[in-house]
A and B are shown apart, each in its own frame.
Chain A
Amino acid sequence: MRTHILVFVALLLTLSGCQLGKEKTPQLTVFAAASLTDAFSELAQAFEAQNPGVDVITNFGGSSQLAAQLSQGAMADVFASANPAQMQAVIATGRIANDGEQPFASNHLTIIVPADNPAAITGLSDLARPGVALILAVPGVPVRAYTDEIVTAMDMPFQQGFYANLVSEEDNVRQVTAKIALGEADAGVVYTSDVTPDIASLVQLVPLSDAQNVTAVYPIAPLIDAPQPELAQAFVAFVRSEAGQAVLSRWGFGPPPGQ
């Protein structure tokens, strides 16, 4: 029994040790939209290289999911959303200052289809054709909001046909991309930046015309209660700096509007 207690105490010490260990190297926690996965992973590494001893932890997900986590009290230093609406949702909970958000990137939407384009999709109008299996993000996710914006501009028969073709609503834009890459559905609507080198050979891009497309604007902000307020400010500045913009541009993002 005595050894049992020793094991138990040792376990507690180990657990608390983990907690202590965390405080030694400053950790910067960044919540970022799923579409930013590649760009922000690279930015995090570059930021760590610039700030020796700093550990950047990234949490990627649908912006709406991240906003929900932040609203529920999740600890983070920085939030980067794929649209202003989800940023506003966090501002509304008081965890981000009213004037805290700054745009840092823009993006556009595209139709993607599996490499062999089984439904022979050539443009937006094909997506309302009966029998096309269409995947979108779940409502609330920014890419879905942008998609709905595009669809609402079309005529009623198109809108009805389009939504009738919907076979699944995914959690975030990268899940949509993944299922199209797997060939499970005929088409999806994602950001142009989502067609990364990793999956470029598995999917085909069917561009939207400029008249159909919309511009996605990505805002970033530090959290008011960030455990690392200075680092949070520094990271936001880094993302918006020339070096940061170069990384974003390499991953297919445009500059924020007006730049």
Chain B
Amino acid sequence: MEGVTAVLALLMALFLIVPLVALVWRTLMLPGDVAMQQGAIVTAVLLSLGSTAVSALLIILLGTPLAYFLARRQFPLKRLVTIFVEIPIVMPPIVAGMALLSAFGRRGLVGIPLSKLGITLSFSFTAVVLAQVFVASPFYIRAVQSRFEAIPRELEQAAAVDGAGRWLYFWHIMLPLSLRAMLVGLILSWARALGEFGATILFAGNLNGRTQTMPLLIYSALERDLRVTFITALLLLGLAFFAFGLTRWLAGLDEEDPDPLASPR
């Protein structure tokens, strides 16, 4: 029995490992040099890094307050809101693109009034960021919300006794206790945003230098220049490894520097 389990486990592990090794292998096997196509790759990398940086910033700025409200306050339809906040995690990205188009496209619910003001969102850098924030923010919000929920309410009461208002309490107690969870959530969000494809190609379109992020370049170059495709894919894989390594490293820190909320019991 032990043997069968081991074989099945090995099969699964190999299935996950072999494609990534093969990707590196194919890239190294490609003939020719990539110098002449560097421009498109560099443009896409810069666009990816720039747009995900803006997305990450927006996710912290707007996601943290939402996580706080979901963790600490009771309000009507809270359950429903929670579901809506989390649904993009399991939503097919192409559906997210349709939804964004229906809302913010030129003929969209919000898009029509916006276009009367002369604002068009589709096919712009803004659209790239909106697509990323839509699909990626739930990872951050969820991580931060559950961390906020884990902080005992007595701490808040104790702080209130000492005269600390809600804001002071949040800034000096909740935030420092949650920094690591926020960072991990943010990295996961960022990695998801970096890989965003379906919603972006539908809602933001595909134009090198304007909306063509790395995944879109991979798709576009597939039929023109395989080297561009494979090298960009490898770069994305590298970034994913880096992001994941960072979260593992942060988790490792927990062992050296135990979580103050977990240790006392």
Please count the residue pairs between chain A and chain B whose beta carbons lie under 8 angstroms apart in the complex: 59
Contact B223 A182 (CB under 8 A): no
User: Whole-angstrom distance between the alpha carbons of A166 and B208 in the complex?
Assistant: 11
Set of chain B residues within 8 Å of A139, measured between Cβ atoms = 224
Q: Out of A1, A8, A166, which one reaches B207, CB within 8 Å?
A: A166
Q: Out of B101, B201, B207, B222, which one reaches A167, CB within 8 Å?
A: B207
Contact A182 B101 (CB under 8 A): yes
Contact A184 B106 (CB under 8 A): yes
- Chain A interface residue count, Cβ-Cβ cutoff 8 angstroms: 26
- Chain B interface residue count, Cβ-Cβ cutoff 8 angstroms: 22
A152 smallest CB distance to B (angstroms): 19
| CB closest chain-A residue, reference B2 | A1
Set of chain A residues within 8 Å of B223, measured between Cβ atoms = 62, 64-65, 67-68, 140
Q: B123 interface residue, CB < 8 Å from A?
A: yes
| CB closest chain-A residue, reference B219 | A171
Q: B189 interface residue, CB < 8 Å from A?
A: no
Set of chain B residues within 8 Å of A4, measured between Cβ atoms = 4
Set of chain A residues within 8 Å of B206, measured between Cβ atoms = 138, 168-171
User: Whole-angstrom distance between the alpha carbons of A209 and B224 in the complex?
Assistant: 31
User: Whole-angstrom distance between the alpha carbons of A67 and B107 in the complex?
Assistant: 35
Set of chain B residues within 8 Å of A8, measured between Cβ atoms = 8
Contact B123 A169 (CB under 8 A): no
Contact A167 B105 (CB under 8 A): no
User: Whole-angstrom distance between the alpha carbons of A234 and B70 in the complex?
Assistant: 64
Contact A133 B123 (CB under 8 A): yes
User: Whole-angstrom distance between the alpha carbons of A4 and B222 in the complex?
Assistant: 41
| CB closest chain-B residue, reference A8 | B8
User: Whole-angstrom distance between the alpha carbons of A138 and B40 in the complex?
Assistant: 14
Contact A184 B123 (CB under 8 A): yes
Q: Mark B1-27, 1 if CB is under 8 A from A, else 0.
A: 100100010000000000000000000
User: Whole-angstrom distance between the alpha carbons of A36 and B105 in the complex?
Assistant: 28
Contact A168 B105 (CB under 8 A): no
| Chain B residues within 8 Å of A, Cβ to Cβ | 1, 4, 8, 101, 105-107, 120, 122-123, 201, 205-208, 210-211, 219-220, 222-224
What would 10 more interface pairs be, CB under 8 Å, given A62-B223, A184-B123? A67-B223, A68-B224, A167-B123, A168-B207, A169-B220, A171-B201, A171-B219, A171-B220, A182-B107, A184-B105
| Chain A residues within 8 Å of B, Cβ to Cβ | 1, 4-5, 8, 62, 64-65, 67-68, 118, 133, 135, 138-140, 166-171, 179, 182-185
7 closest A-B pairs by beta carbon, nearest first, are A168-B205, A68-B223, A167-B123, A183-B107, A64-B223, A65-B223, A184-B122
